[in-house]
Amino acid sequence: MIIKNIMSEDPVCIDKDQNICDALRLMDKRNVSRLLVINTNSDHERELVGIVTEKDIALKLGSSRYGNMAPSHFHVSTVMTPELITAEPDMDAGNAASVMLENNIGSLPVLHDGEIMGIVTKSDLLDICRGRAYEKYTAADVMSTEMITVSPAERVVHARRIMIDAGIGRLLVMEEDELAGILTARDMTRAVINFRKLVPDRHKPSRIRNLLVEDIMKQNVRTIEEETPVTEVASLMLETGYGGFPVIKQEVEGIVTKTDILDLIVEIEGVF
């Protein structure tokens, strides 16, 4: 399968000079987690100059450099990733999945002769997993058993550092070997934005350093079992918008993320 058959043909774009609040509002309105960043050149043509994701915003907002700056005061261009890896419309889906895995990215802008044709994301590739070739695989076959976790009492700034170092967008929150919740980059972004609206400027530096994981994590986490078919896991991800599910037996056995399923896609579809 080639990616022009599964890509989103109308990618959501934002100008590089708009601010972070504009970006978050647009993400919410269009129910997406990433935006293509454009610049209009002197010939009034749109140029693709970068991409910005919720995780980019979360990690930037939590940094010491930008910790005291209102999100409305800095531009998308300060947060975006400018070094883009792109694809052609006729790229094979298996190759697209491999490129995403090798570069630890969640999407590929699709260009042809410099023109933006669309974007293909991990979610777009998940749709492939509803096919018969994937029916025999279960969550146990693809899950990651080496889980990176935090405790509810740890500080959010520490959780942010773990996400950066591990290159991931979610952490399982464990308390005495029990699953207490899950913390995602989206949770972190929304929490920091709301925090800055409510807390007076003079108190922000100290308060944000002491914000705890339990203050912003999601509780009552949706889980799956080891026997859950990959076809069902992929469908659940597409229906809920969740990027990962903890796998539970008697206790937490692992986690299945979109990245884990991409590994299976590369294995089955083949890379040439």
Mean pLDDT of the chain: 87
Confirm whether 267 is domain-assigned.
Answer: no
Domain span at residue 11 reads 3-130
Q: What is the mean pLDDT of residues 9-29?
A: 91
Looking at residue 224, which CATH number applies to its domain?
A: 3.10.580.10
User: Which of these three, 69, 104, 130, is where a domain ends?
Assistant: 130
Q: Tell which residue, 126, 80, 89, 127, has the closest CA to residue 108.
A: 89
Are 81 and 184 in a shared domain?
A: no
Q: Which distant-in-sequence residues (6+ apart) come within 8 Å of 33 by Cβ?
A: 27, 53, 54, 55, 106, 186
Q: Count the domains in the chain.
A: 2
Q: Tell which residue, 72, 51, 50, has the closest CA to residue 61.
A: 72
Query: What is the structure's pLDDT at 228?
Result: 96
**Does residue 241 have a pLDDT over 80?**
yes
Are 104 and 152 in a shared domain?
A: no
Query: What is the structure's pLDDT at 269?
Result: 82
User: Which of these three, 95, 130, 165, is where a domain ends?
Assistant: 130
pLDDT one-digit tens code per residue, 183-237: 998 888 777 777 666 555 555 555 667 789 999 999 989 999 999 999 999 999 9
Residue 272 confidence class, pLDDT cut points 50, 70, 90: very low
Q: Which distant-in-sequence residues (6+ apart) come within 8 Å of 206 by Cβ?
A: none
HSE on the CB side for 119, CA within 13 Å? Answer: 22
Which tokens sit at 204? 């922000």
User: Which of these three, 130, 151, 172, is where a domain ends?
Assistant: 130
**Does residue 158 have a pLDDT over 50?**
yes
Are 125 and 164 in a shared domain?
A: no
* pLDDT over 70 percentage in the chain: 89
Query: What is the structure's pLDDT at 55?
Result: 82
Are 111 and 200 in a shared domain?
A: no
Are 116 and 35 in a shared domain?
A: yes
**Does residue 17 have a pLDDT over 50?**
yes
Query: What is the structure's pLDDT at 203?
Result: 52
Q: What is the mean pLDDT of residues 31-51?
A: 87
| pTM of the predicted model as reported, rounded to 2 decimal places | 0.82
Are 119 and 203 in a shared domain?
A: no
**Does residue 108 have a pLDDT over 90?**
yes
